Each structure stands twice: as structure tokens, then as C-alpha cells.
């Protein structure tokens, strides 16, 4: 494959809140990007960003040097790879030796299966889930957690560097998804802990700003506090300041923690906090929090505590 960005072609499948901005950043960097999504509004947004819109996923992948998928779950990845629509699946449509970058967040075993499917069809493959949310996708500052061979990782580096700020080769096939599931288990648990601490602080008479100023500069410091703070005020860019519009939706956190529990069950690891976080976020999503930012869990905690937030 050519290292000339202007000549290297990309097929991008899944142009939603994450995939759309990622594809747009590739266009800005000089890549020829052809995309597809089942949602007409996503296609129109991509078109306005300079992405060539295809009539099917197979058409988007035809002739591409690199095929990127950003889809909801493993079953959607398999369906796209195998395909039964116009032109068949991505594996058949892509030219031999294409590089498949599977950027969805799916189960570790599903990622390994997708890798084997790509190899069997004569392609190269990396699992490369991301962290950083919509803002990171728009700004091109995502973290990529990558699984696959060192050669394929090196071949994809220039593409990852357009869409992300930190790119980590985590190991062989499935290792990127393994890192993602571990990272998001930490994130889910830490957001619950931060939210519980703010609700407790409210009832002990602390202002949000006072607690933030202490914890952000002490041993309680973490991303859930300093970047995605669950109360309005201390971090102006956090979703709490826009009525918990995501961001990273509660439904996605519930999904990712479900993948973590699958991995815990498969490995026999004891993780009481990870399992508790999965239950809490599953109930949060089912109870109306699916479309709000996952930091909105603080409202559930506050309500369960039979206490309203005092004036700050």
C-alpha cells in the first residue's frame, strides 16, 4: 500500500457520532474516504464533510486500501464482513490484501473471530477500539488501543495519527479490545465513586467547587473527576453543564460494562466492583439514562439517597 495519503483510499463503515468525525478528519488530512451508514442523516453529515457517500457498505469498501468499521456490536461487524446485501460483504468487496481496522467496541472473542475472518479472506486486520468520546473524535485526539501484528500496526500508524493523539499497540489479535474493556471497567467504577463522593459532600455541607479543588489535586484525582466531572461548575466542558447531553451515553457504558462482565465470566476473575458497576449502569440505562451522559448516574445516586442537591 502507498504511504501517500492523497492516493491511499479508505472505506469507512459506520458514520455516527464517532465514525463521522473520524472520517472527516481523514478527509482533512488528504485521504480519499468513501463511507456508508444506514442512517440517512449520518450520510448527509459525512457528505458535507467531504466524504464520498456510497450506496452500500460493500460499495464503500470496493477498491479501498483500508477498511474501517465503527459499528454497535460484534454481530453488526460479522454481518458487515459477511454481508447479504448489494455487493456482498466487506471481506469479499475489498481488494485482496486490504487492511481492516475494526474500531468498534466489541467482545474480545468477537474481535479475535473478526481477525480470523479477515485473514481467511486474504486481508490484514487490527482491532482498534477508541477512547475519548465524541469530543475526542471531533478534535482528532482519540486514544487507540490496538491488537494485531507489529507490521500491520506500523502500516496503520499514519492513519491512526490523523484520528488520535495516543496510539498503543497492546499485543496480538483481541488485545486492543481487552485493553478497552479493562479501561472502561475502571471508568465506570470511578464515575460511580466520584458521584457518590459529591452526593456525600453535598450532605456534609461542602460546595462542589471545594470538593473538586481538593480531590482534583489530591489522591482522589481521576479522569471522571477532572474531565467529565458529574456536577456543573468545576469543569465547564463536562456534560453536567449541558444537562448531561452525551458525551459518552449511559447505554454505551452499560454495553461496555456488559462486555467486561462477559470477560470476567470467561476468565474467572473476581471483580465485585466491576460487576456492581455493570448492574448499576444497566439499571440506569433501562431507567431512562440510556441517552444521557454516563455521568448522569449522579442523579440516580442522589435520588436513591432521598436527598436533593443543595444550592451551590
How many angstroms separate the CA atoms of 147 and 103, rounded? 11
Active-site residue flag, 75: no
- Residue 257 in grid coordinates: 460494562
Output the DSSP codes for the chain: ----TTT-EEEEE--STTHHHHHHHHHHTT-EEEEE-SSHHHHHHHHHTTPEEPSSHHHHHTT-SEEEE--SSHHHHHHHHH--STT--HHHHSPTTPEEEE-S---HHHHHHHHHHHHHTT-EEEE--EESHHHHHHHT-EEEEEES-HHHHHHHHHHHHHHEEEEEEEESTTHHHHHHHHHHHHHHHHHHHHHHHHHHHHHTT--HHHHHHHHTTSTT--HHHHTS-SSSSSSTTSGGGGTT--SSBHHHHHHHHHHHHHHHHHHT---HHHHHHHHHHHHHIIIIITTSBGGGHHHHHHHHTT-PPPP-
Choose the catalytic residue: 7, 28, 75, 180: 180
The residues that are catalytic are 180
Amino acid at each position: 500500500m502507498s504511504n501517500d495519503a492523497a492516493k491511499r483510499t479508505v472505506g469507512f463503515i459506520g458514520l455516527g457520532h464517532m465514525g463521522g468525525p473520524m472520517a472527516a478528519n481523514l478527509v482533512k488530512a488528504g485521504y480519499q474516504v468513501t463511507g456508508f451508514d444506514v442512517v440517512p442523516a449520518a450520510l448527509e453529515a459525512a457528505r458535507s464533510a467531504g466524504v464520498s457517500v456510497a450506496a452500500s457498505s460493500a460499495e464503500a469498501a470496493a477498491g479501498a486500501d483500508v477498511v474501517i468499521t465503527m459499528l454497535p456490536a460484534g454481530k453488526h461487524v460479522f454481518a458487515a464482513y459477511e454481508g447479504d446485501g448489494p455487493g456482498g460483504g466487506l471481506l469479499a468487496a475489498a481488494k485482496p490484501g486490504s487492511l481492516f481496522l475494526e474500531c468498534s467496541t466489541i467482545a474480545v472473542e468477537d474481535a479475535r473471530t473478526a481477525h480470523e475472518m479477515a485473514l481467511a479472506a486474504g486481508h490484514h486486520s487490527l482491532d482498534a477500539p477508541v477512547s475519548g468520546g465524541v469530543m475526542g473524535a471531533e478534535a482528532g485526539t482519540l486514544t487507540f488501543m490496538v491488537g494485531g501484528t507489529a507490521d500491520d500496526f506500523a502500516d496503520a500508524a499514519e492513519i491512526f495519527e490523523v484520528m488520535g493523539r495516543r496510539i498503543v499497540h497492546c499485543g496480538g489479535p483481541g488485545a486492543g479490545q481487552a485493553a478497552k474493556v479493562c479501561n472502561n471497567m475502571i471508568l465506570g467504577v470511578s464515575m460511580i465513586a466520584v458521584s457518590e463522593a459529591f452526593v456525600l459532600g453535598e450532605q456534609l455541607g461542602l460546595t462542589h467547587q471545594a470538593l473538586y479543588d481538593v480531590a482534583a489535586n489530591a489522591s482522589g484525582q481521576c479522569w471522571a473527576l477532572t474531565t467529565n466531572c458529574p456536577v456543573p461548575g468545576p469543569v465547564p466542558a463536562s456534560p453536567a453543564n449541558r444537562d448531561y447531553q452525551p458525551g459518552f451515553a449511559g447505554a454505551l457504558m452499560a454495553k461496555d460494562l456488559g462486555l467486561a462482565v462477559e470477560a470476567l465470566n470467561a476468565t474467572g476473575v473476581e471483580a465485585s466492583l466491576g460487576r456492581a458497576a455493570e448492574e448499576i449502569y444497566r439499571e440506569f440505562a433501562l431507567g431512562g439514562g440510556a441517552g444521557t451522559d454516563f455521568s448522569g448516574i449522579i442523579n440516580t445516586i442522589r435520588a436513591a439517597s432521598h436527598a436533593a442537591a443543595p444550592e451551590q
